[in-house]
Structure 1
Amino acid sequence: MAKIDVTQIEGYAEMSAEDKLKALEALDLPDPDYSGYVKKESFDKTASEMAALKKQLKEKMTDDEAAKQKEQEEREELQNKYEKLLRESEIAKNKAKLVALGYEEKLVDETAEAMADGNLEKVFVNQKKHLDSFEKKVRAEALKDTPKPTPDGDSKTMTLEKFRKMSHAERATFYAEHPEEYKELYGGKE
């Protein structure tokens, strides 16, 4: 509330209370200067508009944040799918190389995945298994192709041509002593 400057009233200090009241009532005060102030109606209108805009901005920020979150999740999902595809592609390439090297089917999957995962310990263990298996195969084939020794100590094997040049008695003896070889000569037929 505005204060009245009583120094402008002459003899105010010596006046009685009734005289002071009369002097104050007679005092002409100028209208206050409100040029630096805003009217209450304008202020209230602006304040309500500002509150509405703040609310909209807050909602928009929430929508933007939700959109960013969704975009981030989609990006992560795509990244995971991409990494999965890269891994599957690498495994497939490794499988093809391992099959070309003659790996057994059960070792191919396991070794290809270990290679993709960088598990060298598993790769070396499977390489050892493959080499052992390969060595057994080579030995079996070598034994299969090795001629069987004859009973007389001669390392020459019996052929169909040699068998046909034998006499009937020799053939009968050979048949009695070596029935398996006889079957092999005639392709398993007697």
Structure 2
Amino acid sequence: MNYYDQHAQEFFDGTINVEMESLYRKFLPLVNKGDDILDAGCGSGRDSKAFKELGFKVHAIDASPVLAKLAEKLIEQPVQITTFQEFKSNKCFDAIWACASLLHVSFNELPHSFLNLSKYLKNNGVFYCSFKYGNDEVDRNGRKFTNLDETLLKTVLADTPLVIKTTWQTGDLREGRESEKWLNAILIKESL
């Protein structure tokens, strides 16, 4: 999180205006108006703001206190400062949105992160996540990334109540980075 604390404004400025409609079109039809969405790793708050404007209730979390403060100003509500592994809530959500956030969790800790977040997702709830496409862990510019392909995603989810509804690949939505590939997934929480 040191990277995001030290580069919060730069990250905010670089992500706040990224066009996300293509991803929203896959996720939002699976969520009902007025539903509660957990924005897990909200970053700049861009997606929380969009969801609020579309009539959803949003609870935003992020592990970077500096980035959380910037997001709070944008979305005009508190952002809970926590990691995915330590997240707790007294409510369950209809959907979870984890856009380019879980990719900073080490491969060994990903199953626990998915398991913990899924505790706060209602049965049959929708969980969107995205990872840079690959099958390795890399350090890049002071940040750690866990890259996943479809096979590794299945492995990570094996001991959770989350099942893959669909996966698809996209290019990076940020200008100049379209050649970077992403794995996107819609997961559903099965009733136990």
When normalised by structure 1's length, the TM-score is 0.16
Bigger-Rg structure (1/2): 1
Structure number having the greater strand percentage: 2
Structure number having the greater helix percentage: 1
When normalised by structure 2's length, the TM-score is 0.16
Q: Which has the higher contact order (CA 8 A, sep 6+)?
A: 2
